[in-house]
Amino acid sequence: MAPDKRAALGLDRELADLPIDLRWREWMRRIEAVLFASATPVARDDLARVVGQGASVDLLIEDLAADLADRPYEVARIGSGWMLRTKAVYAPAIRAAANLSGQALDLNAFDLAVLAAIAYHQPISRDGLKDIFGREISRDLVGRLAERALISTGPRAPRRGAPYTFVTTETFLAAFGMQSLRDLADPEQLADAGLSAP
């Protein structure tokens, strides 16, 4: 929906008729509602559309996170936005009772290895992946990762016929519980632990 249509919905952003403490609480609730309803991380600019002009989205998020401290879910920073996610301690209960069939990544070990290679070496082309794995990476595999929004096309060299490259997405970060790529394990630490990073 275009910003002008959002304004036409009549949302009172300022809430000037409320005392400041109730105004702040309502802004927190609005942010929580937006995060709850969104399947993807919500950017600061989008959250700013539901609070008063000059209200600090960062401080509202901090207060919301504190408010949710004893709840089974939390506000998580994912890339350039925020989302609500269930705390990891509740994963066994969710797996035992909830139908998660539509949310499972269904990636085999090789798919995960290719995804890790993209994360560690992005932007990387299919030729770059071939160099790492010693074999051609199928368009089908790349397509499955892109279909799940775990990867996207990255920058291309500014020359005719340059190959496409691949990068990870905010969906990748959310799926693996990371705020940014800085949360990836250090390749040297993986090697020291007997695990090899691609």
E-strand spans in 58-174?
73-78, 81-86, 124-125, 151-153, 165-168
Instruction: Identify any residues that bridge with 153 across adjacent strands, giving them in sequence order.
Output: 166
Do residues 29 and 51 touch, judged by C-beta distance below 8 A?
A: no
The pLDDT score that the predictor gives to residue 174 is 87
Instruction: Identify any residues that bridge with 152 across adjacent strands, giving them in sequence order.
Output: 167
In which residue are the tokens 């989008």 written? 46
Pick the closest to residue 79 from 50, 37, 119 (CA basis): 119
The pLDDT score that the predictor gives to residue 198 is 47
Please, what is the Cα angle at 162 between 159 and 167, to 5 degrees?
A: 120
**175-184: b (≥16 Cβ within 10 Å) or e:** bbebeeeeeb
Pick the closest to residue 183 from 86, 107, 114, 116 (CA basis): 116
Beta 124-125 vs 165-168: how paired, if at all?
antiparallel
Q: Which domains does the chain have, with CATH numbers?
A: 3-95 (1.10.10.10), 109-192 (1.10.10.10)
The pLDDT score that the predictor gives to residue 195 is 61
The pLDDT score that the predictor gives to residue 101 is 64
Gyration radius (Cα) of the chain, Å: 21
Residues, the chain: 198
Mean pLDDT, contiguous 10-residue spans, the chain (198 residues): 55 95 97 94 96 95 97 94 92 83 78 93 94 93 93 91 93 89 84 62
- The CB-side HSE value for 68 (13 A sphere, CA atoms) comes to 23
The pLDDT score that the predictor gives to residue 1 is 52
The pLDDT score that the predictor gives to residue 3 is 55
Specify the pTM: 0.68
Pick the closest to residue 11 from 27, 32, 28 (CA basis): 27
Q: Please tell me whether residue 16 adopts helix, strand or coil conformation.
A: coil
